[in-house]
A and B are shown apart, each in its own frame.
Chain A
Amino acid sequence: MAVSGEAGTGPGADAHCTSCGRPAADCAGCARTLDPPHYCATCGTRLAVRVSPGGWVGRCKHHGEVARS
């Protein structure tokens, strides 16, 4: 389940692109299919991402766990 900012989504309803962290309006979509999100969709802060063989979890220091698969 992806809570938010699923890999490959890029900017959309979220405020920030989850691949580059820029405001969504400034990014034409730079997400790569096989990358987990690296930035918080809400605030654009870089995420601590733990990738394991079966999934991944992204944590924002401001918003806690924001993405998971």
Chain B
Amino acid sequence: MSDTLQPVSISPRPGLAKASRPPLAADVARKAIRAAEVALLDERRMLTADELAELAHVPDSAVPSLAALAHEVRLSWCGPEVEVEGILSAKTGGCPEDCHFCSQSAAFDTPVKATPFLDTEEVLAAARETAELGASEFCIVLAVRGPDERTMGRILELVPLVKAETGLNVAVSAGILTADQAQRLGEGGVHRYNHNLETAASFFPRVVTTHDYAERLETCELVRANGMELCCGALLGMGESVDQRLELIEQLRSVEPAEVPLNFLNPRPGTPLGEAPIVEALEAIRWIAMFRLGLPSVILRYAGGREITLRELQIMGMTSGINALIVGNYLTTLGRTPDEDLQMLDDLKMPIGVLGKVI
């Protein structure tokens, strides 16, 4: 028996994204990180796809260095403020789409019971809760393919009410939009519209079959064309490869989002991805940093799955490029307490502020 210390596995090995090449040698990784620093902080230019691919393959031991650079880039390109948001599932479950990660799809037998659009007072109460937590943004989320006319009416009624009562910027997530709907939402005061790409175009058909990537891209374009800020997020950990994560970063660049919420898969019982392994904590830090380095000026938001993925490393994520977070609970799952997140920001001396292009 060797007396050399060996790594001891204390839990099942979480899922790692499949890489198309081996990790860089330590000295090569160090040079790649230095080159990225010069590009982003001195030359103030975006990294090329090849430069990002190099960084995605630094060894695990270099991830803290990658994260430190991402934090500097965040401060340099976005400033010190952190944006806090609350979200509400205002119409839960019964969605006709088959997004394989989602417990709200009617295609899967999950514990989430479909419920109708909440009444106005319930939405306002949730908005007030959000405002009391120091947030500046409140997102009304609906589990629909796209809004029908009745839903449009409710959204257009709620947005000014929430704004007037709480002073919060109001975001909406209601699926695929037509040009007319996008125009009406823009004119109706929607500050930001959420429509995630979720994953790379090349992987998308593996997780959604009821609509295609082009439809998502079209809605993203309509959002920006109608004066709303685009919130366009990612969900990591569905089985996509490293190359597909890089592909996603390029696709996100092309839709020019104001905000990118970064989700990690929280496997939901009853969904096709219900038994998928969770993303490893250091892997999550690597990709938080990668998204910041690839999208230096966006609002990069901590979103779903961070609690189970990062556990004690959540604070490290905040110094790896994140500059926004969803506070409190999510749509159908719970977050850690708002007090824990607010204490974390206080400990890090990160001021809460309003970010984005339109305030």
Taking Cβ atoms with an 8 Å cutoff, the residues of A that contact B are 7, 19-21, 34-36, 38-39, 46-56
Q: Judge whether B111 and A39 touch: CB under 8 Å.
A: yes
Q: Judge whether A54 and B133 touch: CB under 8 Å.
A: yes
Q: Which of B86-94, B146-154, B289-297, B350-358 contacts A (4 or more CB under 8 A)?
A: B86-94
Interface size on B, residues (CB 8 A): 33
Shortest Cβ distance from A28 into chain B, in angstroms? 15
Closest A-B pairs by Cβ, 9 of them: A53-B328, A38-B111, A53-B86, A54-B129, A52-B126, A34-B334, A46-B113, A48-B115, A51-B329
Contacts of A51 in B (CB 8 A): 88-89, 329-334
Q: CA of A55 to CA of B330 in the docked complex: distance in angstroms?
A: 10
Interface 0/1 of B312-348, CB less than 8 Å to A: 0000000000000001111111111010000000000
Contacts of A55 in B (CB 8 A): 129, 329
Q: Judge whether B332 and A53 touch: CB under 8 Å.
A: no
Q: Say whether B106 faces chain A, with CB atoms less than 8 Å apart.
A: no
Q: Judge whether A49 and B329 touch: CB under 8 Å.
A: no
Q: CA of A38 to CA of B129 in the docked complex: distance in angstroms?
A: 23
Contacts of A50 in B (CB 8 A): 89, 92, 115, 118, 122
Interface 0/1 of B139-178, CB less than 8 Å to A: 0000000000000000000000000000000000000000
Q: CA of A7 to CA of B133 in the docked complex: distance in angstroms?
A: 22
Interface 0/1 of B113-128, CB less than 8 Å to A: 1010010001001100
Shortest Cβ distance from A31 into chain B, in angstroms? 11
Q: Judge whether B112 and A38 touch: CB under 8 Å.
A: yes
Q: Judge whether A34 and B308 touch: CB under 8 Å.
A: yes
Q: Judge whether A20 and B111 touch: CB under 8 Å.
A: yes
Contacts of B338 in A (CB 8 A): 53-54
Q: CA of A20 to CA of B336 in the docked complex: distance in angstroms?
A: 22
Shortest Cβ distance from A61 into chain B, in angstroms? 10
